[in-house]
Structure formats: C-alpha cells, structure tokens
Chains A and B, each alone.
Chain A
Amino acid sequence: MTDSKYFTTTKKGEIFELKAELNSDKKEKKKEAVKKVIASMTVGKDVSALFPDVVNCMQTDNLELKKLVYLYLMNYAKSQPDMAIMAVNTFVKDCEDPNPLIRALAVRTMGCIRVDKITEYLWEPLRKCLKDEDPYVRKTAAVCVAKLHDINAQLVEDQGFLDTLKDLISDSNPMVVANAVAALSEIAESHPSSNLLDLNPQSINKLLTALNECTEWGQIFILDCLANYMPKDDREAQSICERVTPRLSHANSAVVLSAVKVLMKFMEMLSKDLDYYGTLLKKLAPPLVTLLSAEPELQYVALRNINLIVQKRPEILKHEMKVFFVKYNDPIYVKLEKLDIMIRLASQANIAQVLAELKEYATEVDVDFVRKAVRAIGRCAIKVEQSAERCVSTLLDLIQTKVNYVVQEAIVVIKDIFRKYPNKYESVIATLCENLDSLDEPEARAAMIWIVGEYAERIDNADELLESFLEGFHDESTQVQLQLLTAIVKLFLKKPTETQELVQQVLSLATQDSDNPDLRDRGYIYWRLLSTDPVAAKEVVLAEKPLISEETDLIEPTLLDELICYIGTLASVYHKPPSAFVEGGRGVVHKSLPPRTASSESAESPETAPTGAPPGEQPDVIPAQGDLLGDLLNLDLGPPVSGPPLATSSVQMGAVDLLGGGLDSLIGGTNFVAPPTAAVPANLGAPIGSGLSDLFDLTSGVGTLSGSYVAPKAVWLPAMKAKGLEISGTFTRQVGSISMDLQLTNKALQVMTDFAIQFNRNSFGLAPAAPLQVHAPLSPNQTVEISLPLSTVGSVMKMEPLNNLQVAVKNNIDVFYFSTLYPLHILFVEDGKMDRQMFLATWKDIPNENEAQFQIRDCPLNAEAASSKLQSSNIFTVAKRNVEGQDMLYQSLKLTNGIWVLAELRIQPGNPSCTLSLKCRAPEVSQHVYQAYETILKN
C-alpha cells in the first residue's frame, strides 16, 4: 500500500467528501481520511474547516492515527483556539496513560499547541511528567518547559518550573540531563541577566560525566553550555580541557567543533609556558583536518570556522597547507573558502607551493573563483615580502593570457602591490598600459588610472592616457571619476607646464557638469588648493602615503574574539555577531573570551601574531606613534599626545613657532615675514636647522669654526605643548664627539626639577652618553644651556626619514615627546679620508644604480673654498681634476656606522650651481648626505 495517492486528489468538493470519511464508523476509513487531510495540509491546501471532525478522531488506541491527529492539531490549533479546547481532555487523560510513549507524546504535543487557553491546562500534567518514573517522559517534559516558556514566560517562572528543570541537571539519565541543559540554555538566552545556568564546579562535574554517556546530540548541548562557563583559574580550565579533548575523536563533526570551541576558549586562560598548552595545540590540528573529509556542506561550516581559528591561533595549522589545496570537484563554496585559508597560511616556507597552486586555479572555469585566485596572488605578494617579485611575474604571465576578467583583476591587485612596495615594480607599467582598452570594469579602470597618476613622471604619455579616459567622463562610475580627477591633479603637479589645459578641463567637468556631491567637493578642494598655494597642494596631494599591509583583510580582533566564542554556530559561518542576524533580544548577549591570567600575559604578548595583539594596536607597517614613544622610557603612560613627528613635523612646528613667537629669542626681535623662498623647499625631509639657517643668514656666525658646521638652535618642543617647558636645540660635532646642545626654558609658573632624557631607537644608534644634568631647579622664566654628549652605540632601528630622532624628556611635571631631524654631517667621522687607489676601485665597484645626482643651487664658491669648508665637517677631498673648465672634486666621507660615501662635486666657475654625484652601498643615505652638503656649503 502506498501513501502517494493521497497527494493526487484534487477534485472539487473534496472537503465534504473528507468530512464524511472522517465521520465514518470504520477505523480504516477514518485513518485513510486523516492521511488525506495531512497530505493536503503539506502541499499547502487549507483544511482547517475539518477541525472538529479531525479532533473527533483523537480518541483512539491506534498510536499512528493519534499521531496524525496531533500533527493536524499542532498546525491548526492556533486558528481555532476555542475548538482546540475540545482536545484538552484527551491530552490530560493521555498524560496519565500507563504507556510511557503515549504520556510523552501527549506532553510533547501539548507544548506545541501554542494557544494560551491550553497552556493553563498544561502545567499540571507537565509538573507530573517532569517527575515521571520513566526517563523518556522526563526528557520530553524538559524540552516542554522551554516550549511553554516561549509562550508564557511568566507562568513558567511563577509555577517554579525553572527550579524543577535545574534539578534535572542532576538526573541519573544522561539524556534527561542533556535536554534539561538545552532547555535551560535557551531560556537563559532570553534572560541574559538571570543567573539561571548557575554553573559551578559541582554542576560542571556533573555535566562532564553526562558528556561521556549521552547521545551525540546531547553531547553538543552540553559542550555548547560548557563553553559559556568561566573557570575560576587556569587549573580548573586545564582539567575541563582534559576531559573535553576525547570528544575530538567523535564521528559527529558538530561534537568535534563544539569541543574545539570549549578548548579554544579555555586555552585563553592557560599559560603558554605550560607543557599542556603545547600538547593541546598539537591535539587540535588533526581533528580540524579530518573535518575536511566530511560532506561538502559540513566542510563549508568547518572551513569558515578554521578561517577564524587560523586568525586567532595561526600556529595550530601552520604545517597543514596542503590539505587546503582545492580539488577539481569541490563545490564552489568550498573552493572559495579554501583559497581564503591558503592565503592566511601562506608564509615564506610554503610560498612557492602556494603560488604554483594559485596559478593553476587562475586557469579554471568559474569566474568568481578565478578572480579570487588572482587576487590571492596579490595578497601573497603583500603578505610575504620575499615572494613579491615572483607574484608580480606570475601576474604578468596571467595578463598575457588576455582573458579579460583575469587582466582586470590582475591590474587591481598590482595597484595594491604598488601601494605596499612603492618604486619597486614600475617596470611593469608598460605592460599594464597595453591592456588599457580592454578594461571595462570600474574597479580595474580606477586602479589603472591611479597607477598612471601615481607614476605620471615616469610614463611619457601619461597625459594622453588620462586624456583618453576623460572623453567619456560622465559615463564613468563615481569611483573612476574621483580617481581620474586625483590622477590628473597629480599629473599637473608633476608636469605643470604641459598639462595646464587638462587640469582645467577635469576641474570644470567635476565641479560644473557633475551633480555628484563627492565629486564636486573634491574638485573644489583641488581647485582652491591649486589656485591659492600650489606648494601646499603638492604637499597635500603628493604626500607620502602610508603603506598597506595584509592586516587590512583580517577580522577586527574584538570581533574575532567574539566569534571564537561562537565556533560551530551560524555566527561563525556568517562571520558576524548574532545581533547582526537574530531578531529581538534572543542570542544577542555579547560573549567574550576569558581574560588572560596575569602570569601568562607577559609570556603571551611578545609572541602573539598580529591577530592576537591587543585591540587598538595598529599594524607594524604604519607604526603608531604612541607605541614607539611609549617604550622610550618604558613607562606606562596615558594616550600619547604627540602628533605625527615625521616629515610633517617640521612644517607643523614652524607654524607653531610663528604663532607662539618662539623664534623671537633666536632672531632678536626681527619682524618675521615669510619670504617667498620659504615656499620653495619641496623637500620635506630637509633638516630644520638648514631650513632655518637658509632664512636667517645673519645667525650663521653661531657655529663654532673649529668643528663641523653647527646649525642655529631651533625650537623642538614649544612651551604650549609641554606644559611650559620649551626646548630648543641643535647638534654639534667637535673633535670626534657628538653632542646635543639644548636650551631649556621654563615658561610655566612652577619650578621644574628632575630632568631626564631618553632617545627612541634610531637609524644610527644615537643615544645620550651621560644623563641630562640640570644642576639647579629651573625656576619660572629661567633658561639653561646644556650640552648633552651623545654616543652612537645605542640600539638601531631604521627610521623614516632616516635622520629622524624621537626624544622623550621628563621632568617633575610630566613626560614630553618630540621628534627632530639631525643633520647627517654630525655623523661624519674624522678618519673619513680614503686613499686614491681605494677610491677608484670602490667607485667602480659600486653599481651604477646606486649613484644619485643632485643640484646644489646658489652656491658661488670656488673649488678651494668649498673643499676647505667641507673638510672642516669631515668631508675629505681625495683628488681634484679640471675637465673642460669645470672643477671636479672627488671626495670621501665615512659615517659613524662605517658606511662610506663617495662623492664627485662638479663646480663650474661663474655658475652658482654645482652638481653633486654620490655613490654609496647604502643608497638611502645619499639624500641626507646631499642635504648635509648643501647646509655646509651655504653657511
């Protein structure tokens, strides 16, 4: 006999026919009729009109028929609440039935009839069932409490059901325990404040015992509940972990993932030094890998979770790269997730393998997958510096395939590579430009335009390229329009003469013909900037940009920590907190990882991967000023107040000086008017000293003649930034020793004492050689001059710019930070003279790409004068030649850290400009050596 026939009755008047059948005397016919009703209900027909007739069939000893009637009731009771009452008597009677299966069935079904009137009759039978002798009835009753709570929470609390439910946690039957835990957890979720699941070591122990004995589903309920517990110390955490780890071998993936959740959470509390911690880490990897041989849907859930785990604790799976390689037949959702994890696991050790795989994927069929693979290559380049070159060449290979979406995706990622490694891979720009016409996606077009604008000075026809985009300006998407506007302004600032017209055109397109407010605003900003102060425009538009880093696509640490608490659940699949997709108050309780114990904190912090870092810390590539300065004095300070001290600081301080009148003491009340030349230095890295001395030639006499050139003192720390302490200073080098000449002025009303100074690590290891000695307390309006001897044996860290020095000064009031640029010539040592042969050999030996050429303007000195002037600053002339009327000086100098710099200075008599060529094995110093030259020669 088959049941499918019930689905086929579609004729009219069937309701009446059914009615007749339901009221038939024959049992068989009745049952047939109820089946037909249920079938109609399933396919969506309305059979609610039959309610009384169906309910009449309820009184039967045939369990199958009874279940069918119950099913009907659950569906329609709500629409016929008055008639549903008719069923109550039967329910109450069934709850007393000698057969436990029927008792359970009755209490289960009653809970599903969501009619207020019925619930009144429910609580008495439910109370009995919760204490039933049969565990099957008890476990059903436990869930029924949750059902009832969902309908009428107040009633459940008033009737004391919650206490009975709590008692069931100590039941002898593990399945009863599991269902009680599930019901309590659900009720607790809607009452975040209540202490319903009052978990304590005793109840935890009971749960752990039940864990070994109950069904797979029960184990999940218990583990999910355990994850909410907060052990009181690391020892308790460890003992729970020990009892949970065997679950990692369960055949049910959900049991495994829930166990992983408990372990990941409690691991937070364990010290990293513990042997057990290492053991636990090792135990976690194999089960996670095993999850990948489950069915694809579960693989997907597992992969989404592994993605989180890898970010939280990269060490767990760092050796398991291969299992994430994509299989040809994997469903697309598995493929995309595996790709994501591959990138997260990519490191110098496995990058070759990863790249080979990614290249393979980039030739697959699925467009989304191919795009993601191409993007992944770019992300590898950004993540693993050593592989950048290989990644770029792989991308170029892919561009050669000419597959349109591959090319576009490749261009988008190459843009990001440029942003990470500026000035390194411009050679590929030509290849990119070849594909200009095939770009039809906004993102790719915008990326290409950005590249052209950024490197406009190296692309001969940059103006033509950008002009070609400009033709269809109004048809472009906003993204492209904005990018085009910026790129053309950049181009104009770099090549002002040829592109005047172009920039006019784009500005008027953006401001006059567009109705997009963003575009118009940006257009106006550029326009006004360019028309009022082109130099400022240059500083703004062409400012050095912070590098991007791979952390940009990591999940934000606080969210990550929260999601770790939701391993295995939907939240971990969506990578969103439950509040983002759950309606109402339910499940919105914010969860967080247990705080680390104090003992483990110190062990933890230095090794944690970026993801584990405390929230708020910025990635290394863009160092947060506060952090760097913070370790200067090893003091725990409040939020650092200092602004960015890098290239912009000189500009900023200059401005402050003007306002605060800090310069007055220096130039003796000269009425300060910014001379037009002040706007000229496009060179932001110029030391302050040199910049100022340019302006105030009259003060040049301050420099001592016996030693190297000394710039006049400049204000480093204005009083208004340092609670009244003003510091100005300069650097000197005299007979082999470097010192920092400081002038401290107390502009506050309070006496200052207890001075101390410390430097941050810097490029050349400059450090105070003696403590800062201020003999007497500094009273208000008093000034002291101190010469602080410096050594070059401090710890070294490359700074940007190279000659940046970050300083902390402490006094009885506070700690203050400032940064300054020191002229490089204070580092030129006395034995910097190279012998001629050596000079020749070294000059040839250093590759030509290390040569840098500079123009020194307005320097009307002859060769001898220049030579002697330079010699006093330890730049030694090795040889001198006269070629075609020009004087060529070959010079050498040595830095404190042993770097040799070779120079060729070409002086043309009668021409105020001279040309300086520098060759050095460390080309990054050239720029600063040039500045030193300029400073020395002009003073």
Chain B
Amino acid sequence: MIGGLFIYNHKGEVLISRVYRDDIGSRQAADSAVSSSSGPFPGERLGGSMRRNAVDAFRVNVIHARQQVRSPVTNIARTSFFHVKRSNIWLAAVTKQNVNAAMVFEFLYKMCDVMAAYFGKISEENIKNNFVLIYELLDEILDFGYPQNSETGALKTFITQQGIKSQTKEEQSQITSQVTGQIGWRREGIKYRRNELFLDVLESVNLLMSPQGQVLSAHVSGRVVMKSYLSGMPECKFGMNDKIVIEKQGKGTADETSKSGKQSIAIDDCTFHQCVRLSKFDSERSISFIPPDGEFELMRYRTTKDIILPFRVIPLVREVGRTKLEVKVVIKSNFKPSLLAQKIEVRIPTPLNTSGVQVICMKGKAKYKASENAIVWKIKRMAGMKESQISAEIELLPTNDKKKWARPPISMNFEVPFAPSGLKVRYLKVFEPKLNYSDHDVIKWVRYIGRSGIYETRC
C-alpha cells in the first residue's frame, strides 16, 4: 500500500511529509541508525536516512529533471513514485510494494478535492496556512496507506480547523456511524424550510476533424451535477431519455416508442457517484439514490452517436513562397437560430518564425498573440445557423531550419445552452417517507450547458 505521501512546492521544497511505512527510504539505514542510537545525534541520523532518502530522490529525479515528465509513475531504486501536479504544487505518493496503481491516483485526486473543499485553491500559500489541518486529514483518510472514508461531507462533521471540543455522546456515535455507515455521504437530521434541488447537465463535446471536413473522432463526455437542499433522508429517482429505458417501456405502448424513440439517445457508457445503487442500475437500469447534501456529481456518461456538433470550422491555409502564409477560416454555427452560443474563441496556431500578422474578421475581435504563437479570435455571442469568417496574412522570417512547421490543429472554445448529446432529463422524483413533504413540494431546476472539450480541426 501507499508508504508515504509528500507535497512539494515548485522548487522541490517539502511542504507536507507523512510517512506511513518504514520501507520508504532505506530500511537498513534506518535500522542501523536505531541500533547505534548512542551517537550524539541519533535522531538526526534517523530522520536523515529514513525520510529524506525518498523525499530527495523524487526532487532530484522528477521535479528538478531537465526533461519533460515522461511518466506519472517513476521507479527510483526500487521505490515507486506516483505524482500529480496541481498548478505548481506536486503531490507524490511513494511505495515499495505492488500497489493498486489506479487506486493511488484516484486517491491523490480525491486528496486534492478534499483539500480544495476545505480551503479552496491548492497553492503553496494555502497549504502552508493549513498544514495542521492537512496532517489531520491525512491521518484520517489514509491509515497505514489504506484509503478510508474520504467524503468531504462526512469529514467536515468531525475534522474542523477549530477542533471538536465537546460533543454529546449521541453526536459522537452519529459521527462514527456516518463515517463507517452504508450512507457515509449523508448525515441524518438535515432540515430545510424550502426543499429545493438544482440539476445541471454539463457536457463537453470533443471533435477531431480532418481539413476536408471528415469527422475523425467525436464524442460527448457529460456530467449530471446535482445540488440538493432536501430535508431528511430523501430517496431520489432520476430519469432521462436513455434509449434502452425508453425502448423497454415502449414495448407496451408502441405509439409512445415512435414518438419518443427519435428523441432518445444511445449512451455508450456511464459511471455513477457511489450513492447510486449500481446493482439496481445493472438489473433495471433505474438510477436511484439518497443524495449527499449540497453539490455532487451524480453521474458521468459518454456518447458517440448522433452528436450535434455546434460549430464547423473550415480552414484554408496557403503558403505563399517561403515567407508568407495566407489563412482563411470560416466558422458555421449549427443549431436552432433562436439559441445563442457564447464565449466563442477560435485559436489559429502560427509558425514559430512569424514576424507579423494582419487580420481581418467579420465579427468579434481577433489578435495575434506572439507569446502563444497563435491568432486568437473571440466572438461574444453568435446565434444558430450563422457563419463568420476571418482571414489573416502571416509574414514569416526566413529560417534555415529545415524542419517543416508541424501545423497544429485549429482549436475552438464555446458554450451553448443545450446538450450536444441530445440528453434530456425526464424526471427526478423525491420520496421522503418519514417527513411530510412530497415530490410536488420540491422546487426543481434543470439547466443544460454544452461546452467545447477538445474541439479541433486539422489544417
């Protein structure tokens, strides 16, 4: 299992170091330090050999390495280091055993989520400010290298920056039963005057298109994020226009199948928050759960069929001699004219030896950003079924670099008020048998947002 966990700043200085197992660093060195503890500074020798070894190895070999990171898993002297980076902070888990690698990374991400939930952005400043809290968290969520309950909802009930001073016996046992219980993500006795829930369908649409307009690959990865303010232990049931469910229901009423059949979507795969009863989904394909309080991600899904591609990019790049490039890019919006896309940004890469750029665009603003080697064209809003165009002349410095310019793809960013996969929420029913509010009393909000993921057209 995980033998130790370190957090470094960008310089490679250690901000947090928590060692769970002796085998991190050199065990023999540690043992010999103990046996010869009669020396003047036994502690220093111990601290020096046991912990510092692994800590330094990672700093020298990964953080200070000249080369770009070639793998998120590094093996140095039979010790494996897993790392993730958040802004300029490195989190590294260390082990000497054959651990479950996927679990270690999932844990590191979870660790980041937990920290973010407690003190916001993960930065050197914030980590230093909260180091006591972080140690307390690490003690709780990782025991002897085994991840334990890491749901922030549960953790926040008993790990606070103030420390818990006096709890009644009931409170204590409530905490422990929640942390270890079957519904570890929700505590009992939550009360709201107004029962309300928000559902956001957030999709990111990904595209790779050839210069000729052929779709090389396209998929939507979507998330359903739920924010719930519900009293008690509400039992929820979520329904959407999943093809399999609709076809199953449609068997009885053939009429309905033909009506809704077109609107249903084929979901390639989906994954759920741990509150969802997976075995029920597997057998009946129904999504039922008791939600955590507040915001959480109910499900993730992926579709590849019948995706609405909100924009089409048509590039035209012409090399005029060795010192000039002519670029023309047309974008077309492909959705209902009544809808508006926002925050549209087209990024046209330019060669490294660009000396000057002249741009003309019909709509929005375009700028050449030398530091990013790209022309960035921004349009605030654009309605559906419209088209716009940009043309640019790029002057190049003559170079003797034989290597051809690699022509990175043109990428695009945007936000549209619909789900490109075609997913529709059909219902979200709430039952709370013990309290006296019914499904009708819950105020529900649904919102669809489609964003560009990696939306690229080769040129």
Residues of chain A within 8 A of B146, CB atoms compared: 143, 179, 182, 217, 221
20 contacts between A and B (CB under 8 A): A4-B129, A64-B136, A76-B47, A135-B176, A143-B143, A250-B272, A253-B102, A289-B268, A289-B269, A289-B302, A290-B270, A293-B221, A293-B302, A301-B101, A301-B102, A327-B454, A401-B404, A571-B98, A581-B75, A587-B98
CB proximity of B62 to chain A, nearest CB, Å: 13
Stretch of A241-249, A665-673, A700-708, A760-768 contacting B (4+ beta carbons < 8 Å): A241-249
Cβ of B238 within 8 Å of any chain A Cβ, yes or no, is: no
Q: Which of B68, B80, B98, B163 has the most CB of A within 10 A?
A: B98
Q: Are B102 and A254 in contact (CB under 8 A)?
A: yes
Q: Are B136 and A290 in contact (CB under 8 A)?
A: no
Q: A79-B34, A249-B281, A574-B75 are in contact. Are A325 and B216 (CB under 8 A)?
A: yes
Cβ of B16 within 8 Å of any chain A Cβ, yes or no, is: yes
Cβ of A566 within 8 Å of any chain B Cβ, yes or no, is: yes
Interface members, chain A 34-50 (any B CB < 8 Å): 35, 38-39, 42-44, 46, 48-49
Cβ of A331 within 8 Å of any chain B Cβ, yes or no, is: yes
Cβ of A78 within 8 Å of any chain B Cβ, yes or no, is: yes
Q: Are B52 and A298 in contact (CB under 8 A)?
A: no
Q: Which of A39, A68, A213, A249 has the most CB of B within 10 A?
A: A249
Cβ of B167 within 8 Å of any chain A Cβ, yes or no, is: yes
Residues of chain B within 8 A of A67, CB atoms compared: 135-136, 139
Interface members, chain A 76-112 (any B CB < 8 Å): 76, 78-81, 98-101, 104-105, 108, 111-112
Interface size bucket, A side? 35 or more
With A136-B177, A245-B282 given, name 13 new contacts (CB 8 A).
A35-B132, A64-B162, A68-B132, A76-B43, A216-B106, A217-B146, A217-B149, A251-B274, A287-B269, A363-B407, A568-B103, A573-B73, A581-B78
A247 to B281, CA, bound (A): 10
A440 to B147, CA, bound (A): 51
Q: Which one of A44, A295, A327, A587 lies within 8 Å of B105 (CB-CB)?
A: A295
Name which residue of chain B comes closest to A104, CB basis.
B176
Q: Are A323 and B97 in contact (CB under 8 A)?
A: no
Q: Are A134 and B176 in contact (CB under 8 A)?
A: yes
Q: Are A250 and B278 in contact (CB under 8 A)?
A: yes
Q: Are A134 and B173 in contact (CB under 8 A)?
A: yes
Interface members, chain B 268-314 (any A CB < 8 Å): 268-274, 277-279, 281-282, 297, 299-300, 302
Cβ of B334 within 8 Å of any chain A Cβ, yes or no, is: no
Cβ of B164 within 8 Å of any chain A Cβ, yes or no, is: yes
Render A588-611 as a binary contact track against B, CB cut-off 8 A, 1 for contact. 000000000000000000000000
Q: Are A249 and B270 in contact (CB under 8 A)?
A: yes
Name which residue of chain B comes closest to A42, CB basis.
B17
A301 to B104, CA, bound (A): 10
Q: Are A43 and B14 in contact (CB under 8 A)?
A: yes
Cβ of B46 within 8 Å of any chain A Cβ, yes or no, is: yes
Provide the main secondary structure of the chain B interface.
mixed
Name which residue of chain B comes closest to A2, CB basis.
B129
Name which residue of chain A comes closest to B71, CB basis.
A333
Cβ of A787 within 8 Å of any chain B Cβ, yes or no, is: no
Question: What is the total number of residues of chain B having a CB less than 8 Å from a CB of chain A?
Answer: 116
Render A45-67 as a binary contact track against B, CB cut-off 8 A, 1 for contact. 01011000000000001111101
Task: Name B residues whose Cβ lies closer than 8 Å to a Cβ of A.
Answer: 1, 13-17, 19-23, 30, 33-34, 37, 41-44, 46-47, 51-52, 55, 68-73, 75, 78, 80, 82-84, 95-103, 105-109, 125, 128-132, 135-136, 139, 143-144, 146-151, 158, 162-165, 167, 169, 172-173, 175-177, 179-182, 184, 208, 216-217, 219, 221, 268-274, 277-279, 281-282, 297, 299-300, 302, 402-404, 406-409, 411, 454, 456, 458
Q: Are B103 and A136 in contact (CB under 8 A)?
A: no
Residues of chain A within 8 A of B407, CB atoms compared: 363
Residues of chain B within 8 A of A323, CB atoms compared: 217, 219
Q: Are B406 and A3 in contact (CB under 8 A)?
A: no
Q: Which one of A297, A365, A578 lies within 8 Å of B98 (CB-CB)?
A: A578
Residues of chain B within 8 A of A99, CB atoms compared: 167, 172
Q: Are A174 and B182 in contact (CB under 8 A)?
A: yes
A691 to B217, CA, bound (A): 62
Name which residue of chain A comes closest to B45, CB basis.
A79
Cβ of A139 within 8 Å of any chain B Cβ, yes or no, is: yes
Q: Which of B82, B219, B282 has the most CB of A within 10 A?
A: B282
Residues of chain B within 8 A of A135, CB atoms compared: 176-177, 180-181
Residues of chain A within 8 A of B403, CB atoms compared: 403
A72 to B436, CA, bound (A): 51
A68 to B70, CA, bound (A): 37
Q: A108-B139, A252-B274 are in contact. Are A100 and B84 (CB under 8 A)?
A: no
Q: A44-B14, A46-B41, A46-B47 are in contact. Are A258 and B100 (CB under 8 A)?
A: yes
Name which residue of chain B comes closest to A573, CB basis.
B101
CB proximity of B84 to chain A, nearest CB, Å: 6
Cβ of A114 within 8 Å of any chain B Cβ, yes or no, is: yes
Q: Are A581 and B80 in contact (CB under 8 A)?
A: yes
Q: Are A136 and B179 in contact (CB under 8 A)?
A: yes
Cβ of A717 within 8 Å of any chain B Cβ, yes or no, is: no
Q: Which one of A6, A68, A78, A182 lies within 8 Å of B46 (CB-CB)?
A: A78
Q: Are B302 and A290 in contact (CB under 8 A)?
A: yes
Residues of chain A within 8 A of B99, CB atoms compared: 569-570
Q: Which one of B52, B128, B173, B278 lies within 8 Å of A4 (CB-CB)?
A: B128
CB proximity of A825 to chain B, nearest CB, Å: 57
A46 to B42, CA, bound (A): 10
Q: Which one of A143, A175, A325, A364 lies within 8 Å of B180 (CB-CB)?
A: A175
Name which residue of chain B comes closest to A213, CB basis.
B182
Q: Are A570 and B208 in contact (CB under 8 A)?
A: no
A135 to B299, CA, bound (A): 29
A286 to B282, CA, bound (A): 14
Q: Are B144 and A328 in contact (CB under 8 A)?
A: no
CB proximity of A564 to chain B, nearest CB, Å: 14
Residues of chain A within 8 A of B268, CB atoms compared: 286, 289-290
Q: Which one of B1, B97, B208 lies within 8 Å of A325 (CB-CB)?
A: B208
Residues of chain B within 8 A of A574, CB atoms compared: 73, 75
Cβ of A127 within 8 Å of any chain B Cβ, yes or no, is: no
Q: Are A327 and B208 in contact (CB under 8 A)?
A: yes
Q: Which one of A3, A105, A572 lies within 8 Å of B130 (CB-CB)?
A: A3
Name which residue of chain B comes closest to A403, CB basis.
B403
CB proximity of B27 to chain A, nearest CB, Å: 8
The 6 closest A-B pairs by CB, nearest first: A48-B43, A64-B163, A286-B269, A136-B176, A4-B128, A254-B102
Residues of chain A within 8 A of B55, CB atoms compared: 44
Q: Are B80 and A570 in contact (CB under 8 A)?
A: yes
Cβ of A927 within 8 Å of any chain B Cβ, yes or no, is: no
Residues of chain B within 8 A of A860, CB atoms compared: none
Residues of chain A within 8 A of B402, CB atoms compared: 402-403
Q: Are A101 and B102 in contact (CB under 8 A)?
A: no
Cβ of A853 within 8 Å of any chain B Cβ, yes or no, is: no
Cβ of A220 within 8 Å of any chain B Cβ, yes or no, is: yes
Residues of chain A within 8 A of B219, CB atoms compared: 323
A587 to B23, CA, bound (A): 14
Cβ of A147 within 8 Å of any chain B Cβ, yes or no, is: yes
Interface members, chain A 338-367 (any B CB < 8 Å): 357, 360, 363-365
Interface members, chain A 196-219 (any B CB < 8 Å): 212-213, 215-217
Name which residue of chain B comes closest to A80, CB basis.
B43
Interface members, chain A 227-285 (any B CB < 8 Å): 243, 245-247, 249-254, 256-258
Q: Are B282 and A246 in contact (CB under 8 A)?
A: yes
Name which residue of chain A comes closest to B210, CB basis.
A356
Render A869-900 as a binary contact track against B, CB cut-off 8 A, 1 for contact. 00000000000000000000000000000000
Cβ of A830 within 8 Å of any chain B Cβ, yes or no, is: no
Name which residue of chain B comes closest to A579, CB basis.
B98
Q: Are B106 and A252 in contact (CB under 8 A)?
A: yes
Q: Are B144 and A143 in contact (CB under 8 A)?
A: yes
A583 to B3, CA, bound (A): 14
A3 to B272, CA, bound (A): 37
Cβ of A532 within 8 Å of any chain B Cβ, yes or no, is: no
Cβ of A20 within 8 Å of any chain B Cβ, yes or no, is: no
Residues of chain A within 8 A of B208, CB atoms compared: 325, 327
